[in-house]
Structure 1
């Protein structure tokens, strides 16, 4: 009896990037272009009780000021937004 072995390629085991980020509201003010990001299957890998996840539009001219004012740390660019981790006050 002959046996056939089929090679089946496995897909990468990472979550697919979302087509939309769950933007909640302006981060520093209601009209702020940098937005607080909520949780979904992709963003949950970045959520942390000691930091906020914030998305600023790619090319936003106020990004430097945002980073300086908040202490934001760049994470990655996704769907037209730069994602940042912004430490929350723990005191």
Structure 2
């Protein structure tokens, strides 16, 4: 019986050592970890500001350029959000602002928001 207990402990210690060695091999001590890079806004879209609707948000207002000229409208604000039309950020803007996707360019989904629309209050304030 004592032999079985030692075998179990030995197997447990061996497993712990292998787990630790595997973890070290996949990310060596002192190795630099790479953080995801922030989205690099293409100059072709002439992004305006540091976020939309508020500073720090992922989307940006877009200014006039050859890439945006077909989507600009004096009755709407054109914004761009990194990623595809199915991203969480884009879907939130579409719902919150009753906006619509008008196109894509350089990895950015282009969204038109009517200037006459007033944002609905968040669900917790309705």
TM-score by length of 2: 0.52
- Greater helix share, 1 or 2? 2
Two-structure CA RMSD over aligned residues (Å) = 2.2
| Runs of 4 or more above 3 Å deviation | none
Cα separation, 1, equivalents of 2:115 and 2:79: 12
Computing the radius of gyration from Cα coordinates, the structure with the larger value is 2
Q: State how many pairs are aligned.
A: 74
Which runs of structure 2 are paired with 1:1-91 in the superposition (5 Å)? 20-25=44-49, 26-59=51-84, 60-89=87-116
- Greater strand share, 1 or 2? 1
Structure with the larger RCO, 1 or 2 (CA within 8 Å, 6+ apart): 1
Segments of 5+ residues of structure 2 without an aligned counterpart are 1-41, 119-126
The answer to whether the 8 A contact 1:19-1:79 is kept is no
Cα separation, 2, equivalents of 1:29 and 1:47: 21
Segments of 5+ residues of structure 1 without an aligned counterpart are 1-17
The answer to whether the 8 A contact 1:74-1:83 is kept is yes
